[in-house]
Amino acid sequence: RAKDGGRNQLQFYTSEMNARVTERTLIEGHLRNALSRGEFVLYFQPRIDCLTGRVAGLEALIRWLQPELGLVQPDRFIGVAEETGRIVEIGEWVLVEACRQARAWQDAGLPRIPVAVNVSARQFRQAGFVQEVFGALEAAGLPAQYLELELTESLMMQNVDGVIAAMRQLKEGGVRLSIDDFGTGYSSLSYLRRFPLDYLKIDRSFVRDMLHDKPGEAIVRSMITLGHSLGCRIIAEGVETRDQLGYLTREGCDEIQGFLCSRPVPVEAAAEMLHAES
Ligand code: C2E
Ligand code: MG
Ligand code: MG
Ligand code: MG
């Protein structure tokens, strides 16, 4: 019996592994032509200033409209794109497109609100990344203060000196910098103060667990204090309830982003949101 059980378990794992390999091959194959076929689009999610209730920024989030697969979310393809290196050209497209869109909104007379772009480690480490950013701004005619780059802890903790040098150049050029998904990586607190950061984004896993127990509350409260002492504005990610908003506001969190305010929306809906701000 034990033997049978073992065999069944083995079969189970094997078929799950097969499914994973098939999925990866499928995504990798379709990714090859996705850019040239114009299958990517940007959605935008606002973040809201806790004090004024106004839109403080819009995060550009990539979506993939694959004719056979439908609307593919980033969790399904960003990892594969990172492994294959394709993320570099995809990331460049996102940067150029986000800058172009931000400028187009400004030209349409909408309020000037910064757009945030997620940067993957592989993309950031490319020689010439900093120049690529300034190139995208120039091509769009967008002043640098309207672009924010979101970097992850794991990106920042590898080759710290090189990362700091690149961040300084971006910062001196006027680009704002955020640390994304804070708390999920392994930040060295002693290094953290060396990065020229404008925003610290508390990962949504902490926000989700925050009101369930005292330690959950204390962790978020400490992150807010830590971020402020580093000179950052604090953004809480994944805010879904009024209770979460209330707690965060009381504890001095500066901005919130999450389904409570809005899901990520297509460009036209984002424009309407900006219009409502004017
Ligand atoms: P992220 O940068 O941390 O973005 C926030 C993610 O949380 C988004 O998922 C957003 O839709 C989701 N979210 C926002 N508010 C809530 C909420 O209240 N509840 C819940 N459950 N989720 C919420 P999305 O768009 O699926 O993106 C997932 C991740 O994929 C992003 O996490 C980012 O790491 C990556 N990503 C997205 N676009 C890009 C891109 O253009 N380039 C790179 N390199 N990565 C990207
Ligand atoms: Mg982000
Ligand atoms: Mg995040
Ligand atoms: Mg994330």
Closest atom, ligand 1, to C-alpha of 81:
44
Query: Tokens 């593919």 sit at which residue?
Result: 72
**Cα(216) to centroid(ligand 1), Å:** 22
pLDDT in tens, 198-228: 999 999 999 999 999 999 999 999 999 999 9
Give the pLDDT confidence score for residue 189 in this predicted structure: 84
Nearest-CA residue for atom 22 of ligand 1? 238
Nearest-CA residue for atom 30 of ligand 1? 74
Token pair of 241 as six digits: 């309830």
* Separation CA 262–CA 259 (nearest Å): 5
ipTM of the complex: 0.98
Scanning the chain, the segments in alpha helix (DSSP H) are 2-31, 74-84, 87-107, 121-124, 129-140, 153-156, 160-172, 189-192, 204-209, 214-229, 242-250, 267-277
Statement: residue 6 has pLDDT above 70:
no
| Ligand 1 pocket check for 227: Cβ under 6 Å | no
Query: Which residue type does 136 have?
Result: A
| DSSP codes joined into one string, 79-119 | HHHHHHSTHHHHHHHHHHHHHHHHHHHHHTT-----EEEE-
Statement: residue 14 has pLDDT above 80:
no
Nearest-CA residue for atom 8 of ligand 1? 61
